[in-house]
Structure 1
Amino acid sequence: MTKVENPPSFPIDHLALRGAADAAALLIGDRITTFADLDAAVGRLASWLLEQAGGPGERVASWSAKTRLACLMPLAAARAGLIHVPVNPLLKGQQVAHILADSGAKLLVTNHSRAEMLGDARPENCAVRDLKVAEAVIDSGGQGLPPSIAEAGDLAAILYTSGSTGRPKGVMLSHANLWLGAESVASYLGIVPGDRALGVLPLSFDYGQNQLFSSWYAGAAVAPLDYLTARDVVKAVTRHRITTIAGVPPLWVQLVEAEWPADPASLLKRLTNSGGALTPSLIDAMRRTFPKADIYPMYGLTEAFRSTFLDPALVADHPTSMGRAIPHAEILVCRPDGSLADDDEPGELVHTGPLVAQGYWRDDERTAQRFKPAPSTSRYGGIAVWSGDTVRRDAAGLLYFVGRDDAMIKTAGNRVSPTEVEDVAVASGLIYEAVAFGVPDARLGAAIILIVRGKDGAADEEGLAAYLRQNLPNFMQPHIIEWRSELPRNPNGKLDRVAISADWGREVAA
């Protein structure tokens, strides 16, 4: 079989050159950053980052809200030949310290309060610089670095994602991964220079970061927003004349329940969804609320950026479908032996092509489990991502999600490792054992249930809840914590997670 050649790509920092010089690229408050401003600012920040990090190839992390610096960091680090490690602003010191140590970051750019949150957990070889200093560099007017000449396969970023076996793992993304992902999304969404996207998702997620990249690829603008309520989103759409929103199901639930004046609601041209499936009833509510907007359900995984999207014309008749492969992706449905499943036969989703990441940072064992040779029937060949997700393909080629093989909990658009929640709970010193799992929830997608066995039969409910609030981000907080004197075990002596989850379900049903 003839293999498909990978399409050409450019260093990711060249996105700053895509739009018209005087066109808006970034909208933060009353400040408008044009593409000419963006390119100059990226160059100045790149020069400063290189000096602070000590040389090309080093990892530099950013941990902040959606500041101007946070938006420029991925391009500036790439222009300096550095590797960007964006950190979710919702994480607490314990998780951030792990990411800094695991990535070997030489530099963290953050604010004073976040730096204090790290405390003694900060790795000794990781310098911390204040956001205000970096922002001053951006506005300094000094000479910056020119556009980079990086190779397509050079490492540009490490994005940390939760794993079913515990602590987050770093997905290695090349310039080609990021550039072709931007091109792919910009093309199938039909983004044009006049468009304006509202960036409500964390920039540490590939989905949130790609809103910057795909918009800039098309010469369009992005308005980053850290929102507290749906009303904040309504105001931002009105203020910036937003045409595009990317969200997750819990956000759409909030937005369709909010009051929308006719004008801002009619501004929206496209709504994209990932991080969980849209229900038919939610799709209907989105159509009523945003009558002029096309809806794009999508499926993705950080290891391959994104895999499928459903054409808006098919949403009404196929509301539960994941759609078909996005540009630059090949999606196969495979049996355990690697052969292709028949129509409507469940199989593992396997993603091949140039969007496949380079594996997990410094983790050959887990890389070998997920990144394996593509099936012989693949057009691209090479290494594929074997997702662990079970899907089926109908006779028309549309894909449908069946189930997830691992134990990950998908809540409020976030993938949460049960093991990570359990480890933090046990670290409280108040319990001997813990089991976390997800249950369906109309607003969150899944709610986290935590079953624990207290020490000596004691149940310090307030103490454990307070410890979890201090050491876990909001999206990892258990919805319900229940205490047990004993927990069932399997024949190997390990906690029987299936039985524990089933017992809880029976108790609720009763």
Structure 2
Amino acid sequence: MSTLLHHLILSSAERHADRPAVSDGARTVSYAELAARVQTMAAGLAALGMRRSSRVAVFLPKSLETVGAFFATAMGGGIFVSVNPLLKAQQVAYILQDSGAELLVISADRLAVLANELAACPDLKTVVTVDAVPSTVPPRLRVVSLAELESAATSLVTPRTVDEDVVSIFYTSGSTGRPKGVVLSHRNMVAGAHSVASYLGNHPDDSVLAVLPLSFDYGFSQLSTCFHAGARVVLLNYLLPQDVLRAVAREHITGLAGVPPLWIQLAALEWPETAKTSLRYITNSGGKMPVATLQKLRQRLPQTRVFLMYGLTEAFRSTYLPPEMVDERPTSIGKAIPNAEILVVRPDGSECDPDEPGELVHRGALVAKGYWRDPERTAERFRPAPGQLPEVPLQEMAVWSGDTVQRDADGFLYFVGRHDEMIKTSGYRVSPTEVEEALYATQMVCGAVAFGLAHETLGQSIAVVVEANEGQAPDTEHLLAGCRRSLPPFMVPHVVVWEADLPRNPNGKLDRSGIIARLRPELEKHHGA
């Protein structure tokens, strides 16, 4: 039984030794080869000073070496920190400082870019380059190549590890502007892999395309679910959405996970016939998929099962909508995944009635261990689960999501919005998500962010920032006419801003907080009266 993260690979190596585990471009390794590589790398990291709970940062694009570094760290008792490869030098340095990373796995060219920032990372002692060691290295740091590490590896003395031990820190955007580190245990990640693989029906014949960043819990889940099932994961660092479709066809992909901006792009393309026939399922998380996009994908992929999901890094994955319900309930985020309970509660912790909006609270094995070095924010978000027996002295902690949802009479959940993003206009509480859905339904835009502006008489007016579909000219009059057909008057936007290219965050999602922070002050000056 797999109880630790690296057991997922070792167990599949025992059952499916010769089956393909990871494909990276022209390279494919079997489960037996991957297990051997991880063991060698773990021994090498230990020889360089990795000890129990040492933080090992990995700043690389998706590659076989990246995967090896994660699971080797886990095997050696360390804590891996996956750093998004799109981050800038100062952002990377902050994560290295905050996590207290002692080792860094990186490429020579990335090391050169980071060199000037590493002096501010006092805990960092050793750097492992996956290629050659550069001729000039940062002062005080020991720099070795991966080849040197592997050649010097001796037998690994595995530390005593249990499933409650910390295995990873995933950094996610914070409301204060600094990313926060979500602390995950072996139990969190193994339970997540088991749960997700069970409802997706993953099996050894699957080939799953990993296009999302591995620093994103949803992206990393493609690794853990595949390794749990003995399936093959195909790593892809892509530039254009067409690259994704080519890879699906070329690699005979059976599973593909994406976020709404990617699905909007893919829904607009013609899919190769081979892609249509091989793709068994697709999944969406990281935001609500517009209904218009969902309908296009259903038309293009009539035989493909669509899983609409909701999750947060603090609990890995929370809900999914069974594919057979997608056409009937296209706006639902479904019900709790296996081995989780989702509660909808009022501010006092009492459970909401059907169709009453409340906060989503997640309890179960996937709930993280808090925020790294941040007890105050941990106390705000991780609190005792509602409804516990008073006779039990030690209370179970749940994650209070900060998201407003409602549950219908049949138990299906619907996302309403973030507590701190709800727009209060003309005495109504308006969900930005609902406004954005109406904008997408016009099929005039491929990106939309709605938010409130302080307004003297309305309380707040509704502003939207939108990106036009490729080949379409911005047309505010027609856009608002489309909104009026599907929204009541109090929900129709008052201010429309067109931008040629809305910024995305490193995980591929629209950078909502950045867009709002940039535009709100100026818009309130001109439209706040």
**Interval of TM-score (by shorter of Structure 1 and Structure 2):** 0.7 to 0.9
User: Gaps spanning 5+ residues in structure 2: where?
Assistant: 133-144, 423-431, 437-445, 452-462, 471-502
Do the aligned partners of residues 103 and 285 (structure 1) sit closer, same or farther apart at CA in structure 2, a change above 3 Å counting? same
CA distance in 1, matches of 2:528, 2:280: 45
The match for 1:188 is: 199
The match for 2:411 is: 397
Contact 1:13 / 1:147 at 8 angstroms: preserved in 2? no
Superposed CA deviations along residues 400-454 of structure 1, whole A, max 9, x for unmatched, are 011102359999x99x9x9xxxxxxxxxxxxxxxxxx98465779xxxxxxxxxx
The match for 2:401 is: 387
Contact 1:353 / 1:381 at 8 angstroms: preserved in 2? no
Contact 1:9 / 1:180 at 8 angstroms: preserved in 2? no
Give the partner amino acid of 1:64.
L
1:125 aligns with 2:136: no
Judge which range, 318-327 or 250-259, deviates more: 250-259
Q: How does 1:316-395 map to 2 (within 5 A)?
A: 316-376=327-387, 382-395=396-409
Contact 1:247 / 1:273 at 8 angstroms: preserved in 2? yes
Residue 83 (structure 1) aligned to one of 71, 76, 79: 79
CA distance in 1, matches of 2:161, 2:222: 22
CA-CA distance at 1:234 after TM superposition: 1.8
Contact 2:20 / 2:231 at 8 angstroms: preserved in 1? yes
The match for 1:172 is: 183
CA distance in 1, matches of 2:23, 2:372: 33
CA distance in 1, matches of 2:180, 2:46: 25
Match of 2:264, SS state, is helix
Contact 2:99 / 2:372 at 8 angstroms: preserved in 1? yes
CA-CA distance at 1:170 after TM superposition: 0.5
Q: How does 1:14-163 map to 2 (within 5 A)?
A: 14-19=7-12, 20-122=16-118, 123-126=121-124, 127-132=126-131, 135-136=146-147, 140=151, 145=156, 149-163=160-174
Contact 1:61 / 1:86 at 8 angstroms: preserved in 2? yes
Do the aligned partners of residues 89 and 396 (structure 1) sit closer, same or farther apart at CA in structure 2, a change above 3 Å counting? same
CA-CA distance at 1:54 after TM superposition: 4.1
CA-CA distance at 1:258 after TM superposition: 2.1
Match of 1:151, SS state, is coil
The match for 2:440 is: none
CA distance in 2, matches of 1:138, 1:287: 48
Do the aligned partners of residues 383 and 501 (structure 1) sit closer, same or farther apart at CA in structure 2, a change above 3 Å counting? farther
Match of 1:132, SS state, is coil
The match for 1:4 is: none
1:303 aligns with 2:314: yes
1:206 aligns with 2:206: no
Length, aligned pairs only? 440
Contact 2:211 / 2:235 at 8 angstroms: preserved in 1? yes
Give the partner amino acid of 2:413.
L
CA distance in 1, matches of 2:198, 2:84: 28
CA distance in 1, matches of 2:298, 2:507: 32
1:264 aligns with 2:275: yes
Do the aligned partners of residues 441 and 52 (structure 1) sit closer, same or farther apart at CA in structure 2, a change above 3 Å counting? farther
The match for 1:491 is: none
CA-CA distance at 1:108 after TM superposition: 1.1
CA distance in 1, matches of 2:38, 2:349: 44
Do the aligned partners of residues 402 and 258 (structure 1) sit closer, same or farther apart at CA in structure 2, a change above 3 Å counting? same
CA distance in 2, matches of 1:318, 1:154: 39
CA-CA distance at 1:117 after TM superposition: 2.3
CA-CA distance at 1:316 after TM superposition: 0.2
Give the partner amino acid of 2:128.
R
1:276 aligns with 2:287: yes
Match of 1:406, SS state, is helix
Give the partner amino acid of 2:229.
A
The match for 1:217 is: 228
CA-CA distance at 1:176 after TM superposition: 0.2
CA distance in 1, matches of 2:296, 2:180: 36
Match of 1:108, SS state, is strand
Match of 1:355, SS state, is coil
CA distance in 1, matches of 2:518, 2:285: 31
CA distance in 2, matches of 1:104, 1:482: 31
Do the aligned partners of residues 37 and 291 (structure 1) sit closer, same or farther apart at CA in structure 2, a change above 3 Å counting? same
Match of 1:12, SS state, is coil
Give the partner amino acid of 1:399.
L
Q: How does 1:433-472 map to 2 (within 5 A)?
A: 439=465
Aligned residues with identical type, % of pairs: 47
Superposed CA deviations along residues 269-319 of structure 1, whole A, max 9, x for unmatched, are 000000111122111111122222100000000011111000000000000
Judge which range, 263-272 or 122-131, deviates more: 122-131
The match for 1:406 is: 420
CA-CA distance at 1:232 after TM superposition: 1.1
Contact 2:309 / 2:321 at 8 angstroms: preserved in 1? yes
Match of 1:47, SS state, is helix
Q: Name the Cα RMSD after superposition.
A: 3.3
CA distance in 1, matches of 2:348, 2:50: 47
Do the aligned partners of residues 473 and 113 (structure 1) sit closer, same or farther apart at CA in structure 2, a change above 3 Å counting? farther
CA-CA distance at 1:71 after TM superposition: 1.4
CA distance in 2, matches of 1:303, 1:482: 27
Match of 1:56, SS state, is coil
CA distance in 2, matches of 1:482, 1:337: 35
CA distance in 2, matches of 1:311, 1:333: 20
CA-CA distance at 1:94 after TM superposition: 1.0
Do the aligned partners of residues 74 and 506 (structure 1) sit closer, same or farther apart at CA in structure 2, a change above 3 Å counting? same
Do the aligned partners of residues 296 and 154 (structure 1) sit closer, same or farther apart at CA in structure 2, a change above 3 Å counting? same
Give the partner amino acid of 2:254.
T
Contact 1:333 / 1:391 at 8 angstroms: preserved in 2? yes
CA distance in 2, matches of 1:218, 1:60: 26
The match for 2:136 is: none
CA distance in 2, matches of 1:22, 1:45: 20
CA distance in 2, matches of 1:472, 1:387: 22
